[in-house]
A and B are shown apart, each in its own frame.
Chain A
Amino acid sequence: MRYYIERRRGVAAYQQIVEQTKRAVRAGVLKPGDRLPTAREVAETCAVNPNTTLKAYRELDRDGVVELRQGVGTFIAAPAADRGHEPAAQSPLYAELAQWIGRALAAGLVEEDVRDMVELALHADRTVRRAGERDGGRA
């Protein structure tokens, strides 16, 4: 695991490590039992302050993503029972999405169109939800 820390407004360096680790777990790049690099390794490869790395690992521990084993290291935790924590590549939803993308590309769409469609659908869903919340509040 190699972290890339950039200077980003509003996103502290430790949050970037948290995000990147979670993303790697979702993508199945990191699997339960995998050891995360030590704070020293991250410092020496990425020039990141070890206190930043430790802060990120403590937060990942609180979120149940990793297990801190004192004196041994930091390991990716076994997935929680609910589907949300399953590695994306093994989820049935992923299989459906992959099929759909196959159909979209076969129909002549390019990658950009596919991304736009996903964004559009997410946006429409958000709008519907928000309207639902407002109506629910009034009732």
Chain B
Amino acid sequence: MSAATAATAVQNRERTALEVTGLGRRYGRRWVLRDATFRLPAGRVCGLVGPNGAGKTTMLEIIAGLRGATAGEARVFGELAGGTPARRRVSFLPQEKPLFPRFTVAETLRAGRELNPGWDQDLAEDFVRAGSIDLDARVGRLSGGQRTRVALAVALGKRPDLVLLDEPLADLDPLVRRQTVAALLGEVAERGITVLLSSHLVAELDTLCDYLLLVAGGGLRLAGDVDEIISVHRRLSAPTDRVPTGPGGLPTGLEGHTVVETHRDRHHTTALIRPGGPVGEVWESIAPTLEEVVLAYLEQSDSAPLISPDSHVPGAGREVVK
């Protein structure tokens, strides 16, 4: 990494890439996304998770400037999403990769160059070649993994500051997925770009992403640094007969904690909590995995949202932890 790109990378990391305030979108009478408010610091790789229909694609499309918001706004590096200054800094890769099967790889990159003033031909070509893809091959004859790499090369060749990827890894086998992730993260390291990607592969997010947004039940349930999100939760378990249901309907000993989810059967009771103090000795308490936290919030989509301090938008009136 040259001194100049390192300096740019540092500057990017200190800024806010994305600020979303009260964002909502209605289709007819149905709200798919409601009152989403968060901030994404620049230089992060952020996973966007949630059930189908929770508004992930809609959110990405609004930020990319391809769709208007019904309520609220999104700002990309301070510029209103949809305007020309914001669009210049954003690259969006939809789930249906926008490639022409009859074009060769070289023609695809040439089209990218002609459509984008800030195009970086070397970057795009190197990215394709690193995947051992022949520039003269027709896109229609490439494998799924190769097509993803070409589409990513086009997205990155625009030299965006923020890359939006909608389920980029969904149709790739594990090896190609790893290669694709490695190539993408290499670019993140080199240029300090910010990535926001939606994914169903919850288990793989903890090595790919350092930031997480979770949308469910129409709203934002989790936003923040991955290590921080994990560290404020505990996974508890206890023999059911030692933690009878208390007056509030919760197992005894969980008063004073924020309970995200509980599960009870004849023998065992488990809970995922945000501790409000020391946990009683009857409970065995361990650190949860990111997957366990995500699944608990998905299952209990009415649990109290957690918006960490650095993803909090000042004055937005949401709960802040710490």
| Chain A residues in the interface with B (C-beta under 8 A) | 5, 7, 9-10, 12-14, 38-40, 43-53, 55, 71
Contact = CB atoms under 8 A, between A and B. Distances in A.
Nearest to A5: B207
24 contacts: A5-B207, A7-B289, A9-B286, A9-B287, A9-B289, A10-B287, A13-B206, A13-B207, A39-B189, A40-B186, A40-B189, A40-B190, A43-B185, A43-B189, A44-B182, A47-B178, A47-B181, A47-B208, A48-B185, A49-B45, A49-B208, A49-B209, A51-B45, A71-B6
Contacts of B185: 43-44, 47-50
B316 interface: no
B230 interface: yes
Contacts of A9: 286-289
Q: Which 5 A-B pairs have the closest CB atoms?
A: A50-B189, A43-B185, A10-B287, A40-B189, A47-B182
Interface of B: 1, 3, 6, 43-45, 178-179, 181-183, 185-186, 188-190, 203, 206-210, 227, 230, 286-289
Contacts of B1: 38, 40
Contacts of B183: 44
B43 A51 contact: yes
A5 B204 CA distance: 12
Count chain B CB atoms within 10 A of each CB in A5, A44, A47, A53 and give the residue with the most.
Answer: A47
A47 B207 contact: yes
Nearest to A70: B6
Count chain B CB atoms within 10 A of each CB in A7, A44, A50, A51 and give the residue with the most.
Answer: A51
Nearest to A43: B185
A59 to B, nearest CB: 12
A48 B206 CA distance: 10
Nearest to A48: B207
A127 B207 CA distance: 38
A71 B182 contact: no
Contacts of A38: 1, 189
A51 B188 CA distance: 9
A24 B22 CA distance: 49
B285 to A, nearest CB: 11
Nearest to B227: A12
A51 B210 contact: yes
